[in-house]
Structure 1
């Protein structure tokens, strides 16, 4: 009864407020996040998603894993890139089972200002009421959104490395999942899940590009490096959650229609505004170096990193610098297989030397040294480049490489 009264009181206090205002409540801690992007066809050649077409009379069930425990949850719906108000005609959350199925006894209705439906203004986010579903760190959840009318193009996260499901009609409360016959590997409108009253002392945000995002990790296995870092924290009893704010293809200095706003533009919402953030791990710059539109110097990249450090420190947030990993052998950057014609590795080396030696970061996670080949300082270890017996792209580590990244982080620095 006391728990029910507490949830009711919190519902009255926290409903229908913008995400930034709601995060001022000290007992809420971010337990999962997705950095949202403008609608696009997707940035990977094999990708397909529903962002440009949006939804109508459809339910979308999305799978995720929380990194913290709590007595209750809340979700954040983002219409950041919408050009018109978004109407959500109902939502549920449950503990996930196999495929699109959920555990029936865990299904909970999600409300907004104690209403099943919600309208999210264009360019804004909306936080749900508290949801009385106790969770443990590393629980897998399913969030189902129903859209009766046309949404228009959808704010989304392109590379989720997790299967999302779609059904025609309202199947929010369907535990079996058999109606969800369409699949994709992107997330839609969902940008955060927070936990209430758990043991976590704060959140660690992993901020970066495709390697942080999890491109190349095994789908639906939660093997991105932030996932494996969360597992280390849970196993060690360290009371921190992990939020993944990576976007595949992202750059520090320049926006891209497929790969998100530049790190300098999105740092506020994807790091500083997250509830309970205590530390951020920054690993960005590889795409500024390799895109070459325009050419970027090491000095420009370092200046961008310094700005991120300054803004985090101004909020009392600790900043860990992640070194940029090698890419020798990547077929796009090494067209003849042996030589990289643009001098890009030298820029990477200069930025990494600054990250390691300048003392401007509070600590360093030396991802490059954790993954580099002992025989070639510009190439990944071969065992970190193989997927399903096939050679990878020499840029995105496999699950074992992503685990090596998580292991390279000194937990005491967080």
Structure 2
């Protein structure tokens, strides 16, 4: 078993220029919003996960994360394939993955590892399937809670072109998989746009397995307009700008450098966060802890911090206004006053390089404090598929 040190990368990977393909923000194991396998982990099981990439390439590698593991993680085998339907893969497309030439790898607690390159030809907006076998037991799993995509689990080693019926269990989270990067033999490109924030960026309320998040809609819009930028979604449901949460990830401020600025070829970021900092303080539920009473001025200071760090790295920072949420459990006169103050600052202060006015685009014309019903997923604060398309339209491609 080959062991990797945290954030180590094999030297022969440097012969290829790697570009972004797909990424997800990883979280510590928790119950999350729905049943998942993070706390139980895996033992003599294969987990199969499909992701849609927003770039093209003829080589691919994956990044696996054991960031929140308390012990080394042993990955007994892995494979990459072009996606089929459900748990199926495209015939003849399965490629075994290796790690420094070995079929298995041990990732230290807190560490991550890249696979060796695998030959696979994939176009932008096509999907790849990653299968991971754990002879196990893994213990609790580093994961991404709200994938809005189905993961499949099977008993035993099922890395190849097997009958998809063996994958009889499903989840809607991603496990250990943090990124897919692509190479095409050309140079590295500075063409990555990161969408960064909370559940609205993550895609809460969008249709599972349909790729209807606002990140998907933006990638499609850019490609259709002849500007095929690589769009990465680094949202986490429930994420806070200023506070870490056991359920909803490290704060946006804490994860900004590694999940935005460290992405390959990052040129711009759209920041949409702060709704939960406002809303959690209005609701006394265990899942909404910590819930400090942040002022609008404290949130603005948090945005300025992200802007300063982005600019220091040569990255454009676009500010997204906080969507209306009247009718939700978050909404009180105090919360609404904070939202209005924060949005007024985002629109007028000139601190961001540009503004994506999501609030104006999705507000009810008859009641600007509420989401337009045609764009509401049903909880008065998260858009539906149509709303996410409108959000994508609110981003000016020239600002990216």
Scaled to the shorter chain, the TM-score interval is: over 0.9
User: Does residue 73 in structure 1 map to residue 60 in structure 2?
Assistant: yes
User: 2:309: which partner in 1?
Assistant: 311
- Equivalenced residues, count: 385
Alpha-carbon distance, 1:29 to partner: 1.3
Alpha-carbon distance, 1:266 to partner: 0.7
State the Cα deviation string for residues 75-128 of structure 1 (Å, max 9, x = none).
000000001110100101111111100002111111110111011111011011
What is the rounded CA distance, in whole Å, between the counterparts of 1:254 and 1:404 in structure 2? 29
What are the equivalent positions in structure 2 for 1:264-283 lying under 5 Å apart? 264-283=253-272
Residues 285 and 228 (structure 1), Cα distance of their counterparts in 2 relative to 1, 3 Å cut: same
Residues 19 and 76, structure 1, Cα contact 8 Å, conserved in 2: no
What is the rounded CA distance, in whole Å, between the counterparts of 1:237 and 1:75 in structure 2? 27
Alpha-carbon distance, 1:21 to partner: 5.7
What is the rounded CA distance, in whole Å, between the counterparts of 2:59 and 2:4 in structure 1? 17
User: Does residue 245 in structure 1 map to residue 245 in structure 2?
Assistant: no
What are the equivalent positions in structure 2 for 1:98-247 lying under 5 Å apart? 98-197=85-184, 201-247=190-236
State the Cα deviation string for residues 344-389 of structure 1 (Å, max 9, x = none).
0110111111111111111111100110011011001110115xxx
Residues 138 and 291 (structure 1), Cα distance of their counterparts in 2 relative to 1, 3 Å cut: same
Alpha-carbon distance, 1:19 to partner: 4.3
**TM-score between both structures, scaled by the size of structure 1:** 0.90
State the Cα deviation string for residues 7-41 of structure 1 (Å, max 9, x = none).
xxxxxxxx967647679888211111110000001
Residues 190 and 264, structure 2, Cα contact 8 Å, conserved in 1: no
What is the rounded CA distance, in whole Å, between the counterparts of 1:278 and 1:305 in structure 2? 18
Residues 16 and 277 (structure 1), Cα distance of their counterparts in 2 relative to 1, 3 Å cut: farther
User: 1:389: which partner in 2?
Assistant: none
What is the rounded CA distance, in whole Å, between the counterparts of 2:326 and 2:180 in structure 1? 38
Worse-matched range after superposition: 17-26 or 309-318 = 17-26
Q: Tell me, which stretches of 5 or more residues in structure 1 are unaligned?
A: 1-14, 335-339, 387-391
User: 1:32: which partner in 2?
Assistant: 22
Q: 1:399 aligns with which of 385, 391, 399?
A: 385
Alpha-carbon distance, 1:237 to partner: 1.9
Residues 201 and 239, structure 1, Cα contact 8 Å, conserved in 2: no
Alpha-carbon distance, 1:409 to partner: 0.6
User: Does residue 333 in structure 1 map to residue 340 in structure 2?
Assistant: no
Worse-matched range after superposition: 126-135 or 152-161 = 126-135
User: 2:399: which partner in 1?
Assistant: 413
Alpha-carbon distance, 1:238 to partner: 1.0
Instruction: Give the SS at the match of 2:302.
Output: helix
Q: Tell me, which stretches of 5 or more residues in structure 2 are unaligned?
A: 282-290
What is the rounded CA distance, in whole Å, between the counterparts of 2:44 and 2:339 in structure 1? 48
State the Cα deviation string for residues 309-328 of structure 1 (Å, max 9, x = none).
11111111111101100000
User: Does residue 60 in structure 1 map to residue 47 in structure 2?
Assistant: yes
Residues 279 and 319, structure 1, Cα contact 8 Å, conserved in 2: yes
What is the rounded CA distance, in whole Å, between the counterparts of 1:276 and 1:127 in structure 2? 17
RMSD value, Cα:
1.7
Alpha-carbon distance, 1:233 to partner: 1.4
